[in-house]
Amino acid sequence: MGDVLNSLENWIMDNGGVIDRVLVDEKDIHLDRQSEELHQSITSIKKLSLQTLSRFDHAFTTIQTVGRYIDKVIGEYLKSRNIEDYELIIEGIHLIAEGMKRAAGILHLREMVIVDEKGRSLSDILADLNRMIDLYEKQYIDGEERSELRGILTELQHLLPKVLNWAVLKNSLGEGGGSGLEVFFLKAVLIDLENISTRMLDRFERIGENLQVGRDGEALNDLFRVTELMDETIYVLQFFLTAYSMDSSVLSSSDFSIEELFRKMTDALKEVEESFKSDDLITVGDILEYEIKPLFEAMIDLLHRIGVFIQ
């Protein structure tokens, strides 16, 4: 039966859905575990029933489930000292971390751009949660560690509404959306992107400095984060133009249009790639600091002006 379900799952995924529930002879089975039913011969089964959801609905449901798991872990298990509840804590935080990663992937969310009021991103919080998972698996945790885990889960819980906001925005452009609720979320997203981008400005000099002294790993990590942020910002700017049915020149800077800004960024990033291939790290640093950084600053200004326009 496992082979049959794999084939059905692939077909359903190709059509934009996921299997949400499987019943074998009216009994629920769990696809994420090695249940005995998966090894049954299909001829021994009288009735196989499937319930499907769209990938979007499934991811939304997963995020809501994560919220309930957090309530359970904070409200009950972290208050208990029973060894059974300790095992439930480990299982619960595993499910929370896996659920968020899976939902973010399905919804095409970038964890680094979803931030709370303190500037802590979803990627930061999940990294801390995974660190606590490693700690819990190695030893029995009590006292300060329980308090730290409670704080991390509370941070994640407070960030969930913003995760859902991003999900609506990121998945509405392809669905022909761009009005009402999506535009309301756009206001908050623009503020976050402007703040994140402003804090990233110092990365451009840092990348060049790290490349010159041989800290390539740190430089590449910063470069990855900067390019991820630029890509996400371009998506949001394109969403804005679609949502308001505007000509991009309406909010263009005096130097060039939005399209020119995107084109110049793309050309500069190609130069960076070519310089990397030729191992010309000095040129990489120069392009980032003197070509891409001014374009990045223009993009921040554009985000601000669009935010003012929407208000």
Pair 209, 274 in one domain: yes
- Which of 128, 145, 172 is the last residue in one of the domains? 172
Res. 124 pLDDT band, cuts 50 70 90: very high
φ and ψ at residue 190, rounded to 5 degrees = -60, -40
Worst-scoring range by mean pLDDT, 29-38, 50-59, 290-299? 29-38
Pair 186, 70 in one domain: no
Which domain, by its residues, includes 291?
Answer: 181-310
pLDDT tens-place string over residues 271-283 = 888 888 888 878 8
Worst-scoring range by mean pLDDT, 102-111, 208-217, 240-249, 257-266? 240-249
Pair 199, 150 in one domain: no
Task: Look at residue 114 and give its three-state secondary structure.
Answer: coil
pLDDT tens-place string over residues 170-190 = 776 555 444 455 667 788 888
Residue 247 above 70 pLDDT? no
Pair 43, 75 in one domain: no
- pTM value > 0.85: no
Mean pLDDT across the stretch 109-121? Answer: 89
- Which of 121, 153, 172 is the last residue in one of the domains? 172
Most confident listed range (23-37, 171-185, 279-293): 279-293
Residue 272's nearest CA partner among 280, 263, 264 is 280
Pair 36, 63 in one domain: no
Pair 37, 88 in one domain: no
Report the distance separating Cα 54 and Cα 18, nearest Å: 6
Mean pLDDT across the stretch 16-31? Answer: 81
Pair 146, 196 in one domain: no
Q: Give yes or no for a contact between 193 and 75, defined as CB atoms under 8 angstroms apart.
A: no
pLDDT tens-place string over residues 181-218 = 566 778 888 888 999 999 888 888 888 888 878 888 88
First to last CA, the chain: 56
Pair 46, 156 in one domain: no
Mean pLDDT of the chain: 82
Pair 17, 64 in one domain: no
Q: What is the signed CA dihedral for 267, 270, 271, 277, rounded to 10 degrees?
A: -170
Pair 112, 217 in one domain: no
Phi-psi region of 25 (alpha: psi -120 to 50; beta: other; left: phi over 0): left
What is the model's pLDDT at position 151?
94
Residue 251 above 60 pLDDT? no
The tally of domains found in the chain comes to 3
What is the model's pLDDT at position 76?
82
Most confident listed range (53-67, 110-124, 166-180, 200-214): 110-124
What is the model's pLDDT at position 248?
54
Report the distance separating Cα 299 and Cα 57, nearest Å: 33
- Which of 122, 143, 172 is the last residue in one of the domains? 172
Pair 49, 89 in one domain: no
Mean pLDDT across the stretch 214-243? Answer: 83
Res. 159 pLDDT band, cuts 50 70 90: very high
What is the model's pLDDT at position 210?
86
Pair 284, 303 in one domain: yes
